[in-house]
Amino acid sequence: MACALGLISCSAKATEQNNEQQTSNQATESEMTETNDSTTAVTTDKKVIISTSEGDIEVLLYGDTPKHQANFIKLAKDDFYNGTLFHRVINEFMVQAGDPDSKNAPAGKQLGSGGPGYQIDAEFVYPKHFHKYGALSAARTGDQVNPERKSSGSQFYIVTGKKYSDSELAQIENHLKNGALQQAFYEIASQRQAEIMKMRQEGDSEGLQKMQDEIFAQAEARVGKVQGLTDEQREAYKTVGGTPHLDGQYTVFGEVLKGMDVVQKIEKTETDRNDRPTKDIKILSVKVVE
C-alpha cells in the first residue's frame, strides 16, 4: 500500500479512481456546512414522478434509506427542483441534476456547486442496493474533504453506465477491495494525526514506518475479507449494465421504474467541455405519488 505516513496526505479514495467517478464528486463543495437532522424514519417505499422537458421519469424511493427518501420528498413538495437543469451528463455513465444554481443559469456557466445548505448522512444498504442501470444515487464531494461520504442535500444522479465482461468485473472487484482498505487506513490514520505530525517534525522516519505498518494491520483487520460482487450484481452488470466502480461509495436510494427511455435521451444529448448539455434540459416538477 503506497501510502507512507511521511507523506500523510493519503486519501481514502482508491488510487485507480477515474475522471468519471470524480464527476459525481463535484456535487456541492461549498454547501457542506451542516447535517440535515429533520428527517424521520420511513419504512415503506415511495414513488415520485420527475417531469422533465424530455418526458416523465417514475422513480421508486427506497424505504430503507429513510433520510434520503424523506429529504427528497420534502424538496419535491417544496418545489425545490422545479426549473433546475440536468447540469452534468456523461454518456455511458450517468445524468446528474439537483443544483438550485442551475435555475435560469446562462449558457456555458459551470454548475454543480449549489444545494440547500446541508448534507445527509450516508445510508449504504450495500450490496442490496447497488449502481445498476437505472439506480438513483446521491452525489457528494470527494473523500479528501468528506471522509464520512455524506451526500449532497439535493444533487442526485441516475445511472446509465454500460455492460461489463467477467474480466472487467474482476478488475473492478479488486479496485473496490483496495478502496475499502484505503478508506479504513485513512480513518485510522486521521485519528492519530497529532502523533504523526510530531514524528514528522522530529524526522522520526523509523517511528513513522512502524506506525504505518501498525495502522495498515489495523485497517486489514477492520476490513477483513471484503465481499466481492454478489451473483445479482454480476448478472446485472453483465446484462443491463451500470457503474460498479461507485458501489459502496455513494448512497443508492432509489431506482427508475419507468422512463429510462427519457434518461437515455438525456444521456445522449450534446454537451460542452464541462459535461453540461448545450440545450437546457429542465426538471419541470417532482410529484409524490400518494
Q: Which run of H or of E encompasses 24?
A: helix 19-25
Query: How do residues 65-77 score in pLDDT, each as one tens digit?
Result: 999 999 999 999 9
**Domain co-membership, 123 together with 49:** yes
Show the cell assigned to 205. Answer: 522516519
**Domain co-membership, 78 together with 145:** yes
Give residue 226's pLDDT: 57
Is 232 within a domain? no
**Domain co-membership, 61 together with 177:** no
Mean pLDDT across 80-104 = 97
Q: Which is more confidently placed, 283 or 21? A: 283
Residues 234, 23: Cα–Cα separation, whole Å? 24
Report field, pTM of the whole predicted structure over 0.85: no
Q: Which segment of 44-48, 194-198, 218-222 scores lowest on mean pLDDT?
A: 218-222
Show the cell assigned to 199. Answer: 514524528
Whether a cis peptide bond, with omega within 30° of 0, leads into 127 is: yes
Residues 281, 95: Cα–Cα separation, whole Å? 11
**Domain co-membership, 247 together with 187:** no
CATH number, domain of 83, equals 2.40.100.10
Residue-range definition of the domain harbouring residue 85? 23-162+240-289
DSSP sequence for 163-199: ---HHHHHHHHHHHHHHHHHHHHHHHHHHTHHHHHHH
Q: In total, how many domains does the chain have?
A: 2
**Domain co-membership, 52 together with 138:** yes
Give residue 24's pLDDT: 44
Mean pLDDT across 101-128 = 93
Q: Reply yes or no on whether the pLDDT at 6 is more than 50.
A: no
Choose among 37, 61, 35: nearest CA to 146: 35
Phi/psi zone of residue 113: left (φ > 0), alpha (ψ -120 to 50 degrees), beta?
alpha
The answer for residues whose C-beta is within 8 angstroms of residue 268's C-beta and 6 or more apart is: 91
Is 1 within a domain? no
Q: Reply yes or no on whether the pLDDT at 243 is more than 70.
A: yes
Q: At what angle do helices 231-239 and 166-191 cross, to 10 degrees?
A: 120
**Domain co-membership, 127 together with 144:** yes
Q: Which is more confidently placed, 2 or 234? A: 234
Supply angle C-alpha 251, 135, 82, rounded to 5: 85
**Strand, coil or helix: 154:** coil
Phi/psi zone of residue 232: left (φ > 0), alpha (ψ -120 to 50 degrees), beta?
alpha
Show the cell assigned to 204. Answer: 522520526
Phi/psi zone of residue 164: left (φ > 0), alpha (ψ -120 to 50 degrees), beta?
beta
Q: Reply yes or no on whether the pLDDT at 31 is more than 80.
A: no
Is 279 within a domain? yes
Is 156 within a domain? yes
Residues 91, 194: Cα–Cα separation, whole Å? 44
**Domain co-membership, 48 together with 180:** no
**Domain co-membership, 133 together with 178:** no
**Domain co-membership, 155 together with 280:** yes
**Domain co-membership, 142 together with 33:** yes
Residues 129, 41: Cα–Cα separation, whole Å? 18
For the chain, what percentages of helix, strand and coil (3-state, to nearest 5) are there? 35, 20, 45
Residue type, 38: S
